[in-house]
A and B are shown apart, each in its own frame.
Chain A
Amino acid sequence: GAGVSQTPSNKVTEKGKYVELRCDPISGHTALYWYRQSLGQGPEFLIYFQGTGAADDSGLPNDRFFAVRPEGSVSTLKIQRTERGDSAVYLCASSLTGGNSPLHFGNGTRLTVT
Chain B
Amino acid sequence: DQQVKQNSPSLSVQEGRISILNCDYTNSMFDYFLWYKKYPAEGPTFLISISSIKDKNEDGRFTVFLNKSAKHLSLHIVPSQPGDSAVYFCAAGDLYNFNKFYFGSGTKLNVKP
Q: Which residues of A contact B (CB under 8 A)?
A: 4, 31, 33, 35, 40-45, 48, 50, 55-56, 58-59, 91, 93, 98-100, 102-108
Asked if B25 CB lies within 8 Å of chain A CBs, one says no
B14-22, B41-49, B62-70, B77-85: which lies at the interface: B41-49
Is A56 within 8 A of B46, CB to CB? no
A41 to B6 Cα, complex, angstroms? 10
> Of B42, B51, B91, B93, which one neighbours A107 at CB under 8 angstroms?
B42
Grouping DSSP codes into helix (H, G, I), strand (E, B) and loop, the B interface class, with mixed when no group exceeds half, is strand
| CA–CA, A24 and B54, complex, Å | 34
Q: A91-B43, A102-B34, A102-B46 are in contact. Are A43 and B89 (CB under 8 A)?
A: yes
Contact A108 B32 (CB under 8 A): no
What size tier do the contact residues of chain B reach? Answer: 20 to 34
Q: Is A58 a contact of B45 with CB atoms below 8 Å?
A: no
Please determine whether A45 and B98 come into contact, CB atoms closer than 8 angstroms.
Answer: no
Question: Are B43 and A93 in contact, with the CB atoms below 8 A?
Answer: yes
* Contact partners of B101 in chain A: CB under 8 A: 45, 103
Please tell me if the beta carbons of B103 and A100 are within 8 angstroms of each other in the complex: no
C-alpha gap A46/B4 in the complex (Å): 17
Which residues on the A side are within 8 Å of B106 (C-beta)? 41-42
Closest to B6 in A: A42
Q: Which residues of A contact B98 (CB under 8 A)?
A: 98-100
Please report the C-alpha to C-alpha distance between residue A75 and residue B98 in the assembled complex, in whole angstroms.
20
Known interface pairs A93-B43, A102-B49, A105-B45. Does A42 touch B100 (Cβ–Cβ under 8 Å)?
no
Instruction: Assess A43 versus B103: contact at CB under 8 Å? Given A98-B98, A100-B51.
Output: yes
In the assembled complex, the CB of B53 is this many whole angstroms from the nearest CB of chain A, namely: 12
